[in-house]
Chains A and B, each alone.
Chain A
C-alpha cells in the first residue's frame, strides 16, 4: 500500500515536534527577555545548574485567572535520577543568583495576601479596573505595600482596642439594665416583716427562692444577713453548666437569677456574635465570693458591679450609654477610614498580585540560568515546539530593543540525544479531553494521542449509559449556561465543584448532545416514550385485541424507523427485549472500539518505523481479537438479519469445547463449522505468534549489532520502542537483557489474551448502567409523579412534582452522571487506551492529582475524602452520636478498637475535657490526669494517619492517648481494665466477630460500656433500593477515581452486605455476655449503634 506511505500528518494525533534550543542573554536584558518568554509560554527551560533532565519548567502567565502556573512537561526520568535531584535540591537554592529577589517577592506576596484577607473580612468588593491602573514598578510596589501594611496593622490594633472597650461597655450596660431590673422588681415586692421572712428562709431551706430573693435585694437586710451579690454576663450555651457548677461549689447556698441579654454580643475569643445571658448570683460569705469569682473566670463570664441603689443605677446607665454612643461614633469613623484605605488597595490588589506572581516566576526562571565565564551573559537551555521558534525569536528581539541592550540575544538550535518532552497544542475545547488522557498517562514524544478519538467516543459511551433526551436536555442547559458565561466564570475564582464543572464544560456539552441522541434512540424522555418517528410497527393480531395480553402483538411493517419502538414501553416483554439489545450493542461497540485501539497501535508502529511491532504484535493481536470476538459480533449481526433462533452463547462455548461437533439448530449460515475451526486455529496460532518471535528477533538483531557486522540495522529504532521507557537505554544498547525482554513480552501477550475476554465483558457495563438508568427514571416517573398525579389534591401534586424534580436532579443528573462518567473513563483508560497507548505511567500518580483538577489534592489524605464522599459527610455526625452515647468521664480508661485514624478517640478526649472543664473542682482535675485512651488498630498505616492527625489537632503532647497495634480478636490488655470499649466501622472486617466480642467483654470492667458503630442493613423499601444502587455502583466508582482502588471499595460494599443485620448482631452481643443490649438505627439503618453493658 504505497498510499499509506506518505500520509499527511494527522492533526493532534502526534505531539508537537520539539527542538532543543540554547539562549544566551546579556544580563541587562535578561529580566525582560524571561518575562516576555513567560507571556508566550512556549519555552521549557532546563535547569542548567542541575544536570538532570527532570527539572524542566515552563511558566505561563494567565492574566485572566491571575495565576502564574509553573507546569511541568514530562520527560522520561529514571528513579535514580529523581533521587539525585532530590539530594541536590536542599543545597542549590542558596547558591542561586537571584535568591534575594525571590525572597522579596515571597514577602510581598505575603503582604498582598494579608490585604486580601483584610479586604474579604471587611466585605469590600471593589472590582479591579485595569483601565485606570497606573503602572508602578516592583520597588515602588514594595514600598507602598509596606506602608499600607503598617497603616493597616495600626488601624487594626486601634480599632481592636476600641472594639474591646465598646464590648465591655455594652455588656456592662446590658447587665445594668437586666440585673438592675431584678433588683428593682424585688424591692417593690418587699413588704412583709423581716423576721418572718428569715424564719421562712431557714425552714424552707433555699427552695423558696422568691423569698430569698426578696430578702437579699433589700439593702439593709442583706447586709445584716451577710448576703451579697455578683452580677455579670455569660454565654448562653454555658449558662446551664455554670449554674450547676455554682450550685455545687457553694453547696446550694446561693441564689441564681438570670435573664437573656436581649441582643447579641461579640465573643472576645472567637469574635463572633453570640447570645448571652445576664445573671445575678446572691450568696453569703467571703469564701463563697472567691469561689464564685473563680468559677466566673473559668467560664469566661465577665462580672460587672451593679450599685444596689436605684438612682445610682440610673446614673451609671446614663453614663455608660453616653460613652457607648461616643465610642460608636469613633469606631464608625475608624471603620470608614479603614474601609476607604482597603477599597483603594482593593482596586489595585488584583494587578499587584499578578505582578508579584509574574515577578517571582521570572526570578525563579532566571535562577535556572547559568552565568557564562565573563559573568555578563546568562545561558539557558530548553525545549520549544518547532513551530514556535519564530515567535520566540521575535519576543527575544523585542526584549533586546525594549531594554536598550547593545548586544542581541542569541537563540540557536542544539543537538539532543534525549527524548524531547511532550507538548500538545490544545484549545479550550480540546483541553479537557486532553486532560482526561493525561490523567492516565502523559503521552511519550509523538505517540499516537487517543484524545483525537476520545473527544467523540468518550461522550458517546457516556451517552450509551445515560441515554434519555429529557435528562440530556437538562445537561445541555447546564453546559450552555457554563459556556455562555465562559468569560465571566473564567475570570473569577470558583468553588471546587464549579471549577470542575467549568473545566469540563465542553465535555459536558458533548455528553449532553450525545445523551439527547441516544435518548431518541432509546425513545425515552424522562423514561416516557414518544411517537416522534411515526406509529409503532406492532399492532393487535385481530380487531378484538383479545390476545394482546397473552401472545402479544404482531409486527405488521418495517421496524420503527428511528430507535426503539414505543410499543415496548410498559409491555411485559420490554425488559427481555431491551436487555438482549443492549447487551449485544455493548459487545458490538466494544469490539469496534478495541479494534480501533489496535489499529492505532498499527499507525504508531508505522510512524516509528517499527515493522517488528506490526508483524509480531499488531497482526496476531488483530487476528486473535477478531477471530473470537469479531466473530461473535458477526454472529450477532447475522442473527438479527436472519431472525434465527440460534443460541449465540452456546455457539461460542461449543466452538471451544467441541469444534467439530454438529451445530444443529444453532447453525446460522453455510460453512459455519468450517469457519469456526479455522478461526479457532488462527486464534490458537496467534498466541505463540505474539509471544515468541519478537524477543528472539530482538536478540538476533542485538548480537548482530554487537558483533559489528551489520551496521545498517542501527538506524531502526525498533529496539527501544517498547521495552525501554527510559532514554538512558538509547545510548547504552549494550545492556540488552534477553530474559527481561522475554518476560516483558510474555506479560504483554498474556495480558492481551486474557484482556481480550475480560475487556469484552467489561463493555457489558454499558448495558448494566444504561439499564439501571432507565429503570431508575421509570421508578421515579411512575412511583412518584404518576402516583402523586393520581390524587386530586393540588398540594400532593405539587409535593410529588417537587420530590420528582429533586430525585431527578440529584440522583439521575448528578449521581448517575458521575457514575456514567467514571465508567466511560474506565472504558477509555483500560479497554481502549490499554491497546496502544504507553504514556509515562510513572508520573501518573503525582500528575493525576494535578491534572484531574487539583480538586482532591487539598484534602489531607484520600481516606478522609473517601469517608466524606461516601457518607456525604454524615460519618462525623455518627461518630459524635457514638461518643454522646458513651458518656465519657474524666479519669476513664477507654479502648477504641479499629480506630487508627483517631476519629473516635479525639472525640472522646474532647468530650472528657469539656466535662472536666465544667467540673472545675479540684478532685476532678486530678482524676482527669488518670484518663487513658487506648487506640488499637491492626493496620500500622492507619495508626500513622491518626498520629499525624493528633499532631495537627494539637493532641501531640497529650499523655492520655496511647497508640497500640493489635488485633481485635486478641487484645493485649488485662482483664477488667477498661471503662469503655468502642469499635467504629471495624467489627465488619474482623474475621471472627464472636471472638472480638468475647475479647471486648473480657477487657471491660463491670459496669463498663460496649459500643459498636457499624454500617448495617436498610429496611425501608424505596430507600433500600436507592441505597443498594448507590453502594454498588457509585461507591466503587468514586473509590476508583479518588483513591485509585476500586477493589477495596467493592470489598467494602460486599462486606456490608455480609454483615449480620441489627437484630442478629444484637443477639451475638447478648451471647458474648453483655446485658441491656440495644441498638439505634441512624439514617434508616445505613448505620447502627449497638450498645451493651457488662454487669
Chain B
C-alpha cells in the first residue's frame, strides 16, 4: 500500500465518520439533507441533481452551484462535531504520514544487536 492509497483511506474514513456523526447527532431535519448532500464524495450526484432540478425551475449557473456547494461544505466544517472529526483525521493522518515518510528512504538500517 502506497502513500497515496493510505491517504485516501484516511480521507474516506474521515468522510464516513463525518456522515455517521451527522446521522447520529442530528441537529434537525431542516438542514439535514442539504448538509449530507454537501459532503464531497457523496454529494456530487445528489448535489448535481438537486442543482439541476433547481436550475430547471430558475436560472442556473455553474457559479451559483459551486458557491452553494462550497458554502455547504464550509457550513459543514464549521459544525462542531465535524470540526472534531476533521481535526482528529488530520492529526492521525499527519502522525502516520510522518512515520511513513521517515521510513521511505531510511539513511540507517536496523543493525541487529548481539543477542538476536
Contact = CB atoms under 8 A, between A and B. Distances in A.
B27 to A, nearest CB: 10
Contacts of B108: 552, 573, 576-577
**Size class of the A contact interface (CB-based, 8 Å):** 35 or more
A685 interface: no
B104 A643 contact: yes
A521 B94 contact: no
B41 interface: no
Contact of B70 (A3, A553, A643): A3
Contacts of A588: 94, 98
A559 B103 contact: yes
B8 interface: no
Given A452-B83, A641-B101, A577 B113 contact: no
A517 interface: yes
Contacts of B112: 548-549, 552-553, 570-572
A1093 interface: no
Given A558-B1, A589-B94, A549 B113 contact: yes
Interface string A545-580: 000111111110011111111011011111011001
A499 to B, nearest CB: 26
Nearest to B76: A8
Contacts of A452: 80, 83
Interface string A1-18: 001000111111100000
A551 B111 contact: yes
B106 interface: yes
Interface stretch (A455-463, A478-486, A804-812): A455-463
Most chain B Cβ neighbours within 10 Å, of A464, A585, A640: A640
A573 B78 CA distance: 45
B99 interface: yes
Nearest to A559: B103
Interface in B34-88: 67, 70-71, 74-75, 78-80, 83-84, 87-88
Contact of A11 (B83, B103, B107): B83
A538 B110 contact: yes
A580 B99 CA distance: 11
Given A12-B80, A452-B83, A460 B91 contact: yes
A549 B114 contact: yes
Contacts of B106: 555, 577, 643
A666 interface: no
A452 B79 CA distance: 10
A323 to B, nearest CB: 73
Contacts of A565: 103, 110
A570 B113 CA distance: 7
Interface string A571-612: 111101100110011001100100000000000000000000
A571 B111 contact: yes
Contact of B100 (A538, A548, A559): A559
A517 B92 contact: yes
Nearest to A520: B96
A1015 B71 CA distance: 63
Nearest to A10: B78
Nearest to A8: B75
A453 interface: yes
A9 B107 CA distance: 48
B33 interface: no
B74 A7 contact: yes
Contacts of A561: 1, 6, 100
Contact of A645 (B79, B84, B88, B107): B107
Given A548-B111, A553-B109, A554-B109, A640 B95 contact: no
Contacts of B75: 8
Given A11-B83, A561-B6, A637-B101, A3 B71 contact: yes
A629 B78 CA distance: 28
B24 interface: no
B47 to A, nearest CB: 17
B107 A643 contact: yes
Nearest to A643: B105
B3 to A, nearest CB: 9
B45 to A, nearest CB: 23
A558 B2 contact: yes
Contacts of A60: none
A10 B83 contact: yes
Nearest to B89: A456
A581 B104 contact: no
Interface string A1062-1080: 0000000000000000000
A585 B101 CA distance: 11
A638 to B, nearest CB: 10
Interface in A457-495: 457, 460, 464
B5 to A, nearest CB: 9
Contacts of B107: 643, 645
Contact of B96 (A548, A552, A562): A562
Most chain A Cβ neighbours within 10 Å, of B1, B104, B112, B116: B112
Contacts of B79: 11
Nearest to B86: A456
Nearest to B80: A11
Given A518-B95, A585-B99, A559 B104 contact: yes
Contacts of B115: 570
B76 to A, nearest CB: 9
A7 B78 contact: yes
A568 B111 CA distance: 8
A945 interface: no
A643 B109 CA distance: 13
B113 A572 contact: yes
A374 interface: no
Contacts of B99: 521, 563-564, 581, 585
A290 interface: no
Contacts of A555: 106, 109
A537 interface: yes
B98 to A, nearest CB: 5
Interface in A2-57: 3, 7-13
Contact of A521 (B70, B96, B111): B96
Contacts of A548: 111-112
Contacts of B109: 538, 552-555, 573
Given A453-B87, A641-B105, A563 B111 contact: no
Nearest to B78: A10
A577 B102 CA distance: 9
Contacts of A11: 78-80, 83
A737 interface: no
B113 A564 contact: no
Contacts of B92: 460, 517
B95 A521 contact: yes
Contacts of B102: 580-581, 584-585, 640
A642 interface: yes
Interface in A49-98: none
Interface in A797-836: none
Nearest to A561: B1
Nearest to A467: B95
A524 B69 CA distance: 43
Contacts of A564: 99, 103
A573 B87 contact: no
Contacts of B80: 10-12, 452
Most chain A Cβ neighbours within 10 Å, of B91, B101, B110: B110
Nearest 4 Cβ contacts at the A-B interface: A643-B105, A11-B80, A552-B111, A559-B103
7 contacts: A7-B74, A456-B87, A521-B96, A538-B109, A552-B112, A580-B102, A641-B105
Interface of A: 3, 7-13, 452-453, 455-457, 460, 464, 514, 517-518, 521, 537-538, 548-555, 558-565, 567-568, 570-574, 576-577, 580-581, 584-585, 588-589, 592, 637, 640-643, 645
Given A456-B91, A552-B110, A581-B102, 19 more contacts: A3-B74, A8-B78, A10-B78, A11-B79, A12-B80, A453-B83, A537-B103, A549-B114, A550-B111, A560-B103, A561-B6, A567-B110, A570-B116, A588-B98, A589-B95, A640-B101, A640-B102, A641-B105, A645-B107
